[in-house]
Amino acid sequence: MLAALTTPGAPAPDPQDAAAADPYGEDLQLALYLLYELHYRGFAGVAGDREWDPALMPLRRALEDRFLTALRADVPAGRSTDETFGELLVESPDHRGSVSYHLEHEGELWQLREYAMLRSLYHLKEADPHAWVIPRLRGRAKAAMVAIEYDEFGAGRAERVHARLFADLMADLDLDTAYGHYLPAAPADVLATVNLMTLFGLHRALRGALVGHFACVEVTSSPGSRRLAAAMRRTGAGGAAERFYTEHVEADAVHEQVVRREVVGGLLADEPHLEADVAFGADATVFLEDRLAARLLDTWRHGRSALRPT
């Protein structure tokens, strides 16, 4: 994939190879991430018009199909939004699988730094994938989505853009704040969580799933952010590091109500046939986040780094 992007005339990998790839493995997820990044900021040395290069599209489609087919097989089908969000709104008393709970009570500073490195692949472009759904909505859903995104992008103030706040967090943790810097250190389970929202965002047919993903993030954000703010405070990570999560505790408590009632409610009032897609988007998010949490906790509890060797 790298050769195809950087070497003139080099062919892209055969799309048929995607059928044999592990849908959650590093080869597929990294290849898909590289293709998707062309729709964000691209790469130095790669021409901007490669974003929609017809020679790359068959491979991207094959990778997407492999990933999406696996998700549809592994995630419960036919659920209602009441079932899905009813579960998300009730926090489990069993915190053994919670990364934020671990970091709040047991996490060490090096683990918080690793967590920030890995989450930077999304947070340095926070809310960007969800912006693609705006032209695909109308009425209540569009108005509410724009209102939430406005907050995510700093309400008109560059210093309050959430991606900027995360960069400030990284600076407090003495990390490199350059966009994409920690991509080589990210295992496939991290890449999959970011690829999921891009996959949903780039396809109009998956607009319901993207709304479900967005709603899942907003519904579950406040409790986790509160614990992560406490973890930053307990370890002395710094004021900006704590502030990023404190901001999300306050903002997402409001967003959670708006997204469920107006974004999801408005979308399903207009297009009720998308209910299963909304539920799928939320359930797929939980599925991939649970996989990532299991990886992080397993390595950290054994005193090992969760980063890929580079």
Q: Give me the average pLDDT of each 10-residue run along the chain (310 residues).
A: 88 92 97 97 93 94 98 94 91 87 96 98 97 97 96 93 96 97 98 98 98 94 92 95 88 81 97 98 98 97 94
Distance, CA of 227 to CA of 239 (rounded, Å): 15
Distance, CA of 191 to CA of 107 (rounded, Å): 23
DSSP 8-state code for residue 10: P
pLDDT of residue 257: 86
Provide the 10 A C-beta neighbour count for residue 97.
13
DSSP 8-state code for residue 182: T
DSSP 8-state code for residue 125: T
Amino acid at 307: L
pLDDT of residue 310: 80
Distance, CA of 212 to CA of 85 (rounded, Å): 9
- Rg of the chain (C-alpha set): 19
pLDDT of residue 9: 81
Distance, CA of 198 to CA of 41 (rounded, Å): 13
In the structure encoding, which two tokens stand for residue 7, read together?
């070497």
Distance, CA of 202 to CA of 299 (rounded, Å): 33
* 141-164 pLDDT per residue, tens: 999 999 999 999 999 999 999 999
Cβ pair 218, 255 in contact under 8 A: yes
In the structure encoding, which two tokens stand for residue 181, read together?
């810097």
Question: Residue 170 burial (CB < 10 Å; 0-12/13-18/19+)?
Answer: buried
Find all residues with CB under 8 Å of 269, minimum gap 6, and list them: 139, 140
DSSP 8-state code for residue 264: I
Go through the domains of the chain in sequence order and give each one's CATH number.
2-72 (no CATH), 79-301 (1.20.910.10)
* 227-269 pLDDT per residue, tens: 999 999 999 999 999 999 998 887 667 788 899 999 999 999 9
pLDDT of residue 252: 64
With a threshold of 0.85, does the pTM exceed it?
A: yes
pLDDT of residue 92: 79
Query: What Cα–Cα distance (Å) separates residue 62 from each residue in 14, 32, 189?
Result: 9, 10, 19
Cβ pair 270, 141 in contact under 8 A: yes
Question: Residue 129 burial (CB < 10 Å; 0-12/13-18/19+)?
Answer: buried
Distance, CA of 246 to CA of 227 (rounded, Å): 10
In the structure encoding, which two tokens stand for residue 193, read together?
């969580």
